Structure 1
Amino acid sequence: MTTTVVPTEASAASVGWRLGALYGPAIYGVSAAAVAVPVAADRLHTTPAAAVWILTIHALCLGIGAAVAGRATDIWGPRHTLSVGAALLAAGTVLCTFATILAVAVAGRALLAAGSGAMTATALTLAAGRPPPQRPAVLAHLGAAMALFSATAPLAGALAVTTSWRTALVLPALSLTALPLCWPLTQPRQRAPARVDWTGGALLATTAAGLLLTIQSTTLHLPPPAVAGLVAGTCALAVLADRHRRRHPDGFVPTVISRRRFLLAGLAGAGVYGGLFACVYAVPQILTRLGYSAEGIGLLLMPSAIVAAATARLVGRAASDTARRRVLTGVTALFSASLLLAAWDRRPVALICATTAAFAAFAIAQTTLTAAITARVDPRQRGGALGLLNLISFTGGAVGASVCSALWQPWGLPAALAAVAVLPAIASAGAASLHCRWMNRTG
């Protein structure tokens, strides 16, 4: 007599936390590594102004990696994309570990960020590809995990620096530990017989690079002629990419990028990420001036992560997509108001309220916007659409951090924090418009 063992389907909670562990370490690439930049500048015998490339290159290559890897999952499947991402993470870790000059450290960080982009895009694609009854719960747990990673980033960076500044730079490689857990969630896929649109991929990558470098130009202190050249070159590349997309609708740049629904979701995501990155940048600075250590700041932010994670799970259980969009609209509006309150009343309680709203909006946005895009995109272009959504969101994050940094010196940190409160307000407007458009189409 033979016994047949039937494999059990993984629960939504298990899948969500596994994918969150795959995605989450990418968040450490900026928030945690920022703690190590002053020490890294000294050890690499360079100036702090030049060492900012350690952070800038991560934001740049993470956005590019997410956009390119998202489409790659559509063409080659998630397993191939994860394998490439793992190789990039490993190579970047080795370079950062043995770097003795800034150029080598920056190259290592670029590889790490590209690998993280592959992990984030694949994690979202796998979450969006779950069966429809399970998908909202999976996205809710994924959002909760991301909120926890966001809140623990300063503490993780502070603890890593006590070991070595190099350890803080390679924390994104923690995604490799989640690879064995997520590998069973993938399905082998044969390569498509059609030719790969390498031209479209190159145009997408270079346009994203130009856009992100333009945003970071204030932080990098580029001269005006260089900024003007970046703007002109990026606009020209965007035009070429759009023409190429029209001529090759099945190419590397998915057609979803021209749809109003996608643009509204991108606007909401960029606003939330912009407010979050600005908040994560400014609040630790203000708390440091109030006498808190890096470890103390990390512990102070932990309750915010717990509240955000619980909120994401509750929203994920909402009965309908419409209810989740309404919650996103309300939470982003609350996030904007809390930033204004924190700028006016800089006591720890107000600052913690702002970070709690930031982490909650971040978790809910990832859950809600991913579901909104997934519902209206051809499964054959799902990865590319989510990769582009990630790129737009991280671009918004770069805008938030750059604006806050640029306004710090002339206006002061509280005024800069108040100025970036407009970003989650824009996200609230985008989420509300997305909700209204959905109601008009279903009513």
Structure 2
Amino acid sequence: MTDRIRAQHVRAGLTAPASAEAGWRLGLLYGPAIYGVSAAAVALPAAAQGLRTDAATAVWILAIHALGLGVGAAVAGRATDIWRPRSVIGVGTALLVTGAVLCAIASALAVVVVGRGLLAAGSGAMTATALALAAGTPAPARPGVLTRLGTLMAMFSATAPLAGALALMASWRVALMLPALSVVALPACWTLIRSRSHQGGVGSLDWAGALLLALAAGGLLLAVETATVEVARPAALVLVVITCAAGSLLVVHSKRHPTGFLPAAVVHDRLFWHCGLVGAGVYGGLFAAVYAVPNALAHLGHSAGTVGVLLLPGAIVGAVLARLATAACGRLPPNKVLAAMAALFSVAILLAAADRRPAILVGAATVGFAAFALAQMTLTATLSARIAADARGGAVGVLNLLFFLGGALGSMTCAVFWKPFGLPAAFAATAVFPAGAAVAAWHLSLARIREAQILRGEGQTGAREEAVE
């Protein structure tokens, strides 16, 4: 390792061994956020019974998590560009603890939903900080850090149903509070967080832009959820109007404040939207699979605990597939590898539509876990190389919001098709999401990314390290 590269690692708080471990530690910070949907879904029937409400209404316990996580990640991502990472982590920790306490003591659905919203917002702060720290590592170390982070995310996704089933043995409240486990990972990540204490602290957050984004994204997510939950038509209409108005005002606000919450350099970057489209397609397929596969296995007579055990090997296989695909990215264009993985995921979902044996269903979810990890690594690295450091956290945060929007749309599509047409039609419909991601990834041009790396000196640095190794 050259002196210049070693200096980069030291400035980032990464020694040679630590740089290999940073991805694992940041993955532990991010991972529990994934339990907010898959693990909580296992406890939803028990929660509905405990809160004396019906199952359809209790779905808002899951819906609020998607809303809070997506919006929280977008706001916290931009905050990491302006504030010190430990300030964002501090706010996230407070939100997680408060939300967990509310879920633990609540006796009414409304209080649980508020608690889950706070938990989700806290998880958003944790995920945004983890991704910002990973994206901010020196260019030579960044792919390895993101690969390990993505691998742990795949494992958290695969183990979520089992974690929910185990937590349910204690109480449905415990299952709803699992995202708060991110706090446990803070000591392992504190060295990374403290090493970036010199960053941030300049300027102020564009709260008007943040509010408009929250209203637009939140309205869109809730509008997606109303397709599977009975909502009065006037309320749905008001929701659509608010969403459209907030979106329009956000566009106007971004034009008037080019360095605000959504910097013009990000909004007008086609590569940013292209990456968002690819990730949304992969997340759409994954969220649909995570929703449908456990339910399909339950219909075959498997208990919640058995479903979790059946999906557990998928964590290992998915992690191995993700690592193999990442290694292939060193020899082949990363976008082509991601396109191939997304296409394989689409084929696996179609196979599950035709043959609903447990092995086929679990296989589809396993490929989804691998595609999810690879997409997170590849797209975050791609955007990090393109966006300037002072806007990188916000760009990655909003990018993940687009991913979650795609995920919500995927699970909604699966639910809408399942009820009237059956599981085969639902799977066939959701296979469109990863198929679209495969097409978009295949046409993802990396020329401008390498150009941006060269302009900032990152490309030459990476080439020098490869030569040394």
Instruction: Decide: shared fold, TM above 0.5.
Output: yes
Q: Counterpart in 1 of 2:311? A: 301
CA contact 2:83–2:202 (8 Å) conserved in 1: no
CA contact 2:215–2:242 (8 Å) conserved in 1: no
Structure 1 gaps of 5+ residues are 1-5
Q: Counterpart in 1 of 2:70? A: 63
Q: How far 1:12 moved relative to its partner?
A: 3.3
The structure 2 residue matched to 1:331, chosen from 341, 355, 371, is: 341
Q: How far 1:10 moved relative to its partner?
A: 4.4
| Pair 1:188-2:183 in alignment | no
Q: Counterpart in 2 of 1:157? A: 164
CA contact 1:77–1:188 (8 Å) conserved in 2: yes
* Pair 322,126 (structure 1): closer, same or farther in 2 beyond 3 Å: farther
The structure 2 residue matched to 1:132, chosen from 121, 131, 139, is: 139
Q: TM-score, structure 2 length as denominator?
A: 0.89
| Pair 1:34-2:44 in alignment | no
The structure 2 residue matched to 1:17, chosen from 14, 24, 30, is: 24
Q: How far 1:313 moved relative to its partner?
A: 2.4
| Aligned residue identity for 2:390 | R
The structure 2 residue matched to 1:178, chosen from 172, 181, 185, is: 185
Q: How far 1:102 moved relative to its partner?
A: 0.7
SS at match of 2:333: helix
SS at match of 2:228: helix
* Pair 40,65 (structure 1): closer, same or farther in 2 beyond 3 Å: same
| Pair 1:341-2:351 in alignment | yes
The structure 2 residue matched to 1:367, chosen from 377, 391, 408, is: 377
Instruction: Show structure 1 runs of 4+ deviating over 6 A.
Output: 439-442
Q: Counterpart in 1 of 2:54? A: 47
The CA deviation string for residues 284-339 of structure 1, in whole angstroms up to 9 with x for no partner, is 11111222221111111122111221222233344649622111000101111110
CA contact 1:139–1:316 (8 Å) conserved in 2: no
| Aligned residue identity for 1:227 | A
The structure 2 residue matched to 1:247, chosen from 256, 262, 271, is: 256
Q: How far 1:47 moved relative to its partner?
A: 1.6
State the alpha-carbon separation in 2 of the partners of residues 44 and 97 from structure 1.
Answer: 12
CA contact 1:322–1:435 (8 Å) conserved in 2: no
CA contact 1:270–1:393 (8 Å) conserved in 2: yes
State the alpha-carbon separation in 1 of the partners of residues 149 and 342 from structure 2.
Answer: 19
CA contact 1:308–1:357 (8 Å) conserved in 2: yes
Q: Counterpart in 2 of 1:96? A: 103
Q: How far 1:195 moved relative to its partner?
A: 4.0
SS at match of 1:346: coil
| Pair 1:286-2:296 in alignment | yes
Give the share of equivalent positions with the same residue, in percent. 57
CA contact 2:65–2:116 (8 Å) conserved in 1: yes
Greater alpha carbon shift after TM alignment, 146-155 vs 313-322: 313-322
The CA deviation string for residues 80-107 of structure 1, in whole angstroms up to 9 with x for no partner, is 1111001100000100000111111111
The CA deviation string for residues 58-88 of structure 1, in whole angstroms up to 9 with x for no partner, is 0111111011000000010211111100110
Q: How far 1:155 moved relative to its partner?
A: 0.4
Q: Counterpart in 2 of 1:117? A: 124
Q: Counterpart in 2 of 1:429? A: 439
Structure 2 gaps of 5+ residues are 1-12, 453-469
CA contact 1:274–1:397 (8 Å) conserved in 2: yes
State the alpha-carbon separation in 1 of the partners of residues 142 and 209 from structure 2.
Answer: 30
Greater alpha carbon shift after TM alignment, 234-243 vs 19-28: 234-243
Q: How far 1:16 moved relative to its partner?
A: 0.7
Q: How far 1:228 moved relative to its partner?
A: 3.0
State the alpha-carbon separation in 1 of the partners of residues 442 and 15 from structure 2.
Answer: 39
The structure 1 residue matched to 2:213, chosen from 185, 204, 214, is: 204
| Aligned residue identity for 2:186 | L
The CA deviation string for residues 218-240 of structure 1, in whole angstroms up to 9 with x for no partner, is 12222333333322321221111
* Pair 441,10 (structure 1): closer, same or farther in 2 beyond 3 Å: closer
Q: Counterpart in 2 of 1:3? A: none
Q: TM-score, structure 1 length as denominator?
A: 0.95
The structure 1 residue matched to 2:360, chosen from 336, 339, 350, is: 350
CA contact 2:92–2:123 (8 Å) conserved in 1: yes
SS at match of 2:140: coil
* Pair 362,321 (structure 1): closer, same or farther in 2 beyond 3 Å: farther
| Pair 1:266-2:273 in alignment | no
* Pair 439,172 (structure 1): closer, same or farther in 2 beyond 3 Å: closer
CA contact 1:136–1:317 (8 Å) conserved in 2: no
Q: Counterpart in 1 of 2:234? A: 225
* Pair 152,236 (structure 1): closer, same or farther in 2 beyond 3 Å: same
CA contact 1:71–1:381 (8 Å) conserved in 2: yes
| Pair 1:410-2:386 in alignment | no
Q: Counterpart in 2 of 1:169? A: 176
| Aligned residue identity for 2:68 | C
SS at match of 1:32: helix
State the alpha-carbon separation in 2 of the partners of residues 439 and 16 from structure 1.
Answer: 22
Q: Counterpart in 1 of 2:459? A: none
Q: Counterpart in 1 of 2:247? A: 238
The structure 2 residue matched to 1:312, chosen from 322, 331, 344, is: 322
SS at match of 1:371: helix
Q: How far 1:8 moved relative to its partner?
A: 4.3
State the alpha-carbon separation in 2 of the partners of residues 9 and 388 from structure 1.
Answer: 31
Q: How many residues align?
A: 437
* Pair 371,172 (structure 1): closer, same or farther in 2 beyond 3 Å: same
Q: Counterpart in 1 of 2:112? A: 105
CA contact 1:321–1:368 (8 Å) conserved in 2: no
* Pair 210,7 (structure 1): closer, same or farther in 2 beyond 3 Å: closer
CA contact 2:382–2:449 (8 Å) conserved in 1: no
* Pair 440,138 (structure 1): closer, same or farther in 2 beyond 3 Å: closer
CA contact 1:61–1:113 (8 Å) conserved in 2: yes
| Aligned residue identity for 1:196 | L
